């Protein structure tokens, strides 16, 4: 125990003397939580529409005002020629072209059907698809209204119309920030913990100080604990800062128990630190450790279920989620923070993460050798 005391004293001294690390720990989580949730928003807005109106009737005027009245579309041009509108897609000025054919109104009233043509710029697939879907929605609604008007003339019967209404549980206003903030916090905790532990130990290898330590009768597990405890504490600091930011800025207060939240983070940090430690035992230089960590972090983040839902991934990718610790944290944070899940809800995840922690640390401990 005395040895650990000396190790901790040394480690904390070194950390607080290193300004860039202190900055990393304090400012990175705050800045990222302040900025990222605003940008990482799935709602597609500002879809640029090039209109080709060849009818110029009161009906088309009404349709156009409906489109521009919704919050999703900007009408960037109104032309009579389709070619011209098409060129604006080519030059990326427009995402959609909506063609209203000549005699739109007349044919609609007379034949009861009419065709509108929608051309989509699918380079940005998400925007185009969602844009087209929104546009169809607007047109459908408009069409519904027209039908009622046309049919109700002369007859007094209103056609039966069924509408589906939604209620969004746990995120009633469908705010993407509520959805993103816990996920971004999960990434931050993982990055800070993983990188700090991996780089710190490799740095000692690189500078040569580890040799001076290895030649002392220090116990392996003492040395490792002396490294883990400071980063575990820092991980908790980052997490707490993150919770404060999400409360002050986004008004997100965990619905579930804080104790449960910290309990899970405590175990999770052990797993992440163990991973960093493992990487450091296989790396000789900070550069190597950095690249290895980046590789895994990219995979963890992009396949962690934050940016794309796990359920829509191909099956093999869903399998990899099982060995992605970050995906568990993202899920559990959302569960506790947004849904107020209780201990029994997260037990399976907690056990998995505990297994990760034991496995990774055990492996690292075996692979860390005082004698080569």
Partner 1 sequence: MEEVVIQADKLTKKFGDFTATDAITFQVRKGEIFGFLGANGAGKTTAMRMLCGLSVPTSGEAKVAGFDIYKETESIKKNIGYMSQKFSLYEDLTVVENIRFFGGIYGLNNEQIKNKTEELIERLGLTSVRKELVVDLPLGWKQKLSFSIAIIHQPKIVFLDEPTGGVDPLTRRQFWELIYEAAHNGITVFVTTHYMDEAEYCDRLSIMVDGKIKALDTPKNLKMQFEAESMDEVFYKLARQATRAE
HEC profile of 285-313: CHHHHHHHHHHHHHHHHHCCCCCCCHHHC
Q: Radius of gyration over alpha carbons of the chain, in Å?
A: 29
Closest distance to partner 1 from the beta carbon of 203 (Å)? 10
> How deeply is 100 buried, as exposed, middle or buried, from its count of CB atoms within 10 A (0-12, 13-18, 19+)?
buried
Q: What is the DSSP secondary structure assignment for residue 55, as one 8-state letter?
A: S
Residue 5 near partner 1 by CB under 8 A? yes
Residue 366 near partner 1 by CB under 8 A? no
- Which C-beta is closer to partner 1: that of 9 or that of 307? 9
Q: Determine the interface stretch with partner 1 among 69-77, 202-210, 244-252, 275-283 (rule: CB under 8 A).
A: 202-210
Strands 73-79 and 96-100: unpaired
- Which C-beta is closer to partner 1: that of 87 or that of 370? 370
Closest distance to partner 1 from the beta carbon of 6 (Å)? 3
Q: Determine the interface stretch with partner 1 among 5-13, 102-110, 173-181, 302-310 (rule: CB under 8 A).
A: 5-13
Sign, Cα dihedral of 258, 260, 266, 268: negative
Q: Site map for partner 1, 210-239, x if CB under 8 A?
A: -xxxxxxxx---------------------
Closest distance to partner 1 from the beta carbon of 285 (Å)? 14
Q: Determine the interface stretch with partner 1 among 6-14, 42-50, 238-246, 256-264 (rule: CB under 8 A).
A: 6-14
- Which C-beta is closer to partner 1: that of 5 or that of 84? 5
Asked if residue 114 lies in contact with residue 146, where contact means CB atoms within 8 angstroms, the answer is no
How many whole angstroms separate alpha carbon 72 and alpha carbon 328? 34
342's CB contacts (< 8 A; 6+ apart) are 256, 257, 260
342 to each of 172, 178, 180, 258, 327, how far by Cα in Å? 20, 19, 21, 11, 18
- Which C-beta is closer to partner 1: that of 13 or that of 45? 13
Q: Determine the interface stretch with partner 1 among 31-39, 201-209, 265-273, 325-333 (rule: CB under 8 A).
A: 201-209
Closest distance to partner 1 from the beta carbon of 248 (Å)? 34
Closest distance to partner 1 from the beta carbon of 192 (Å)? 20
Sign, Cα dihedral of 134, 139, 140, 144: positive
Residue 208 near partner 1 by CB under 8 A? yes
Coil, strand or helix at 47:
strand
- Which C-beta is closer to partner 1: that of 214 or that of 318? 214
Candidates 1, 17, 71, 312: give the one binding partner 1 (CB under 8 A): 17
Residue indicated by tokens 């046309």 = 150
Residue 18 near partner 1 by CB under 8 A? yes
Q: What is the DSSP string of 141-206?
A: HHHHHHHHHHHHTT--PPPP--------SSSTT--HHHHHHHHHHHHHHHHHHHHHHHHHHHHHHH
How many whole angstroms separate alpha carbon 142 and alpha carbon 154? 21
Q: Give the number of residues in contact with partner 1, rule: CB under 8 A.
A: 25
Residue 23 near partner 1 by CB under 8 A? no
> How deeply is 280 buried, as exposed, middle or buried, from its count of CB atoms within 10 A (0-12, 13-18, 19+)?
buried
- Which C-beta is closer to partner 1: that of 103 or that of 285? 285
Closest distance to partner 1 from the beta carbon of 217 (Å)? 4
- Which C-beta is closer to partner 1: that of 172 or that of 217? 217
Closest distance to partner 1 from the beta carbon of 234 (Å)? 17
List residues near partner 1 by CB under 8 A: 2-3, 5-7, 9-10, 13-14, 17-18, 207-209, 211-218, 370-372
């Amino acid at each position: 125990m005395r040895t650990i005391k000396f190790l901790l004293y040394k480690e904390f001294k070194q950390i607080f003397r290193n300004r860039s690390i202190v900055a990393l720990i304090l400012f990175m989580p705050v800045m990222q939580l302040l900025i990222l949730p605003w940008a990482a928003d799935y709602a597609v807005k500002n879809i640029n529409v090039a209109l080709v109106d060849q009818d110029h009737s009161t009906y088309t005027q009404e349709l156009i005002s409906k489109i521009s009245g919704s919050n999703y579309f900007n009408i960037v041009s109104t032309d009579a020629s389709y070619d011209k509108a098409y060129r604006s897609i080519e030059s990326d000025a427009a995402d959609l072209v909506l063609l209203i054919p000549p005699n739109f109104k007349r044919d609609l009233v007379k034949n009861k059907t009419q065709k509108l043509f929608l051309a989509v710029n699918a380079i940005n697939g998400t925007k185009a698809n969602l844009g087209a879907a929104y546009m169809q929605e607007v047109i459908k609604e408009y069409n519904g209204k027209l039908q009622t008007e046309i049919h109700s003339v002369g007859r007094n019967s209103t056609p039966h119309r069924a509408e589906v209404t939604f209620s969004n549980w746990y995120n009633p206003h469908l705010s993407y920030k509520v959805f993103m903030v816990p996920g971004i916090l999960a990434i931050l905790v993982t990055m800070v913990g993983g990188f700090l532990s991996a780089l710190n130990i490799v740095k000692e290898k690189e500078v040569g100080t580890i040799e001076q330590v290895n030649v002392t009768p220090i116990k392996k597990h003492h040395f490792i604990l002396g490294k883990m405890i400071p980063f575990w504490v820092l991980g908790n600091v980052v997490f707490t800062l993150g919770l404060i930011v999400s409360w002050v800025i986004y008004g997100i207060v965990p619905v579930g128990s804080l104790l449960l939240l910290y309990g899970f983070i405590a175990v999770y940090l052990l797993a992440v630190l163990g991973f960093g430690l493992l990487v450091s035992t296989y790396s000789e230089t900070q550069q190597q450790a950095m690249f290895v960590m980046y590789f895994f972090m990219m995979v963890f983040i992009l396949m962690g279920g934050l940016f794309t839902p796990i359920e829509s991934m191909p099956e093999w990718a869903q399998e990899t989620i099982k060995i992605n610790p970050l995906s568990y944290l993202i899920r559990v944070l959302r569960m506790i923070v947004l849904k107020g899940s209780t201990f029994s809800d997260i037990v399976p995840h907690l056990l998995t993460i505990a297994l990760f922690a034991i496995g990774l640390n055990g492996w690292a401990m075996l692979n860390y050798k005082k004698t080569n």
